[in-house]
Amino acid sequence: MLLKVLELVGVVAFAASGALVGVSKRLDIFGVCLLGVFTAIGGGVIRDVLLGIHPPTALNTWPTFTTALVTSVIVFFLHPAVSKLRREILVLDAIGMGLFASSGAVIALAAGASNQAACLIGATTAIGGGVLRDMLVNEMPLLLHRDLYAVPALIGSTVTVACLEFGLTPNLGLVVGTVSASTVRLLALWRHWNLPGPRVSES
């Protein structure tokens, strides 16, 4: 139950981030909603397509989709107020990201994926929506060049898989994985961690 609530918190944060990008690109209400919904459900849809869960849960049941749509509409009408919540949205986004990475890994294992596949598909669940959002508005995905986002996601899914491998229950693994991923992400944001760039070519 708490997990369900937390997952919708993540959906709200993801949809808000997508819708805000849409507003900043001056899209109309439908473009904003489309971008918000794609960002919120994209990762889960990619996960289900990779695992052969048809049709994808986020399309087939109403809570995720409805939450994403309502959030996008609210952002469209109240975006000046929402923009001021950038900090809060980043925190919610970090929690959602952690939860998606962990739950993606658990769902992948339950669908018969190998440990490696569960780590990779969990991380993909967490980063898929953001990558889709950036590709749709024709920008290079943030996580490729600026954001330490994929590393925390991979840590979250890997910790979850390790917990289950060591005999913890899925629920406990989910909590430990989510906390790991979200903590690393928030630390990275707070301390402005960046990974090293390539050395400048000697030529």
**Residues that bind a second copy in the complex, under the rule CB under 8 A:** 22-23, 25-32, 34-35, 45, 49-52, 54-56, 59-62, 65, 76-77, 79-80, 83, 108, 111-114, 116-117, 120-121, 131, 135-141, 143-145, 148, 150-151, 194-199, 201-203
Write out the two tokens for 155.
Answer: 């840590």
Determine the straight-line distance between the first and last CA of the chain, rounded to whole angstroms: 58
Within a 13 Å sphere around the CA of 155, how many CA atoms are in the beta-carbon half?
A: 18
Other Cβ atoms within 10 Å of 44 Cβ, number: 26
Nearest distance in Å: CB 23, a second copy: 5
Nearest distance in Å: CB 114, a second copy: 5
Compare residues 2 and 197 and give the one whose CB is closer to a second copy.
Answer: 197
Compare residues 81 and 172 and give the one whose CB is closer to a second copy.
Answer: 81
Nearest distance in Å: CB 192, a second copy: 13
Q: Are 89 and 17 in contact (CB under 8 A)?
A: yes
Compare residues 111 and 179 and give the one whose CB is closer to a second copy.
Answer: 111
Compare residues 120 and 175 and give the one whose CB is closer to a second copy.
Answer: 120
In angstroms, the CA 73 to CA 12 distance is 11
Q: Are 121 and 104 in contact (CB under 8 A)?
A: yes
Nearest distance in Å: CB 79, a second copy: 6
Compare residues 32 and 175 and give the one whose CB is closer to a second copy.
Answer: 32
Nearest distance in Å: CB 167, a second copy: 23
In angstroms, the CA 183 to CA 95 distance is 9
Q: Are 134 and 140 in contact (CB under 8 A)?
A: yes
